[in-house]
């Protein structure tokens, strides 16, 4: 019988990264289905950010395979992976602070089209950029702040704007590196609701240390310890896994 099961959106096999003698990721195996929200958790130094950087192309891998929509990504530069549908955010802010919220998203839209920023001034009033920018801002609850300078946003609003800019590249998969970092409880839950809505449109793979957020948001969770995946499953199975509980004895920390 012929198997017509579609391949995963993302399929990582045997992924390895070494820094000298130190093996930071070791034979990592992860799959992510279309429409899935998948969390990567792990203690300090587990290799979570290294893994995200390998997937996005900012770090070359020393072994293994990254299949995205059944296409091999290993060896492709960051910009080619972005064009294939990978979008990402970072632990540290990457906004244009002197520009408005609206113009930040419009710049991201313009970069997607491959336009030169030399033509930014006339493009700032271009409906082809303005209308989709407003649509994205509405999805992230930032439309009312569209004219505010990015430098004047609260921390949680800055993180939402970073996701808005990543969405402007029309990704099929969003890679988020600690989207809740530095947020208070109210900001975190606002972000959870925003990401839950986005998860209906785009797959999300995110690194996070806030376990309350992870359990509330993720369809599946992969646990990375000393560069290896030791468990993968839904929130209940991860909570009850004795190996995971041992790895987190003393608390879960940022990586």
Q: Where are the alpha helices (DSSP H) in the chain?
A: 48-56, 78-84, 101-112, 120-123, 127-139, 155-167, 185-198, 211-217, 235-240, 242-247
Residue 76 has pLDDT above 70, yes or no: yes
CA 133 to CA 231: how far, in whole Å? 39
Q: What is the pLDDT of residue 122?
A: 53
Mean pLDDT of 61-86: 95
Residue 149 per-residue DSSP state: B
Q: In 209-222, which positions are buried (b, 16+ CB within 10 angstroms) versus exposed (e)?
A: bbbebbbebbbbbb
pTM for the structure as a whole: 0.87
C-alpha distances out from residue 76 to 54, 60, 73, 83, 203, Å: 11, 9, 5, 11, 21
pLDDT of residue 185: 83
Q: What's the pLDDT tens digit per position in 5-63?
A: 778 999 999 999 999 999 999 999 999 999 999 999 998 889 999 999 999 999 999 99
**Structural tokens at position 49:** 């950010």
Q: Which long-range contacts (CB under 8 A, 24 or more apart) does 247-251 make?
A: 247/42, 247/43, 247/223, 248/43
pLDDT above 90: percentage of residues in the chain: 58
Q: Which of 3-12, 67-76, 152-161 has the lowest mean pLDDT?
A: 3-12
Mean pLDDT of the chain: 87
Question: What are the structural domain ranges in the chain?
Answer: 9-85+173-255, 94-170
**Whether the Cβ atoms of residue 169 and residue 112 lie closer than 8 Å to each other:** yes
CA distance 62 to 46: 17
* Phi, psi of 226, deg, nearest 5: 50, 40
- Non-local CB neighbours of 187 within 8 Å, separated by 6+ positions: 154, 155, 156, 180
Per the CB < 8 A criterion, the answer to whether 139 and 197 are in contact is yes
| pLDDT tens per residue, range 91-147 | 666 788 999 999 999 988 887 765 545 445 555 567 788 899 999 999 888 999 999
Judged on CB neighbours under 10 Å (0-12, 13-18, 19+), 40 is: buried
Which CATH code for domain 9-85+173-255?
A: 3.40.50.300
Centre a 10 Å sphere on the Cβ of residue 118 and count the other Cβ atoms it contains: 7
pLDDT of residue 74: 96
Please answer whether residues 102 and 133 qualify as being in contact, where contact means their C-beta atoms are separated by less than 8 angstroms: yes
In this prediction, residue 4 carries a pLDDT of 58
């Amino acid at each position: 019988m012929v198997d017509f099961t579609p391949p995963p959106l993302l399929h990582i096999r045997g992924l390895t990264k070494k820094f000298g003698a130190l093996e930071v990721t070791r034979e990592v195996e992860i799959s992510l289905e279309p429409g899935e929200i998948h969390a990567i958790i792990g203690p300090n130094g587990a290799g979570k950010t290294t893994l995200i950087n390998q997937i996005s192309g900012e770090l070359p891998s020393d072994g293994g395979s990254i299949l995205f929509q059944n296409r091999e990504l290993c060896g492709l530069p960051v910009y080619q992976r972005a064009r294939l549908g990978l979008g990402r955010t970072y632990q540290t802010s990457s906004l244009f602070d002197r520009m408005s919220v609206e113009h930040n998203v419009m710049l991201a839209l313009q970069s997607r089209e491959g336009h030169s920023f030399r033509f930014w001034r006339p493009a700032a009033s271009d409906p082809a950029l303005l209308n989709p920018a407003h649509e994205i801002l509405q999805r992230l609850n930032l439309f009312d702040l569209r004219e505010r300078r990015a430098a004047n946003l609260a921390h949680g609003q800055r993180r939402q704007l970073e996701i808005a800019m990543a969405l402007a590249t029309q990704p099929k998969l969003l890679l988020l590196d600690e989207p809740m970092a530095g947020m208070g409880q109210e900001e975190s839950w606002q972000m959870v609701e925003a990401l839950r809505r986005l998860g209906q449109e785009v797959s999300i793979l995110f690194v996070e240390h806030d376990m309350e957020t992870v359990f509330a948001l993720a369809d599946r969770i992969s646990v990375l310890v000393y560069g290896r995946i030791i468990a993968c499953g839904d929130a209940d199975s991860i909570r009850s896994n004795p190996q995971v509980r041992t790895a987190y004895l003393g608390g879960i920390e940022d990586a």
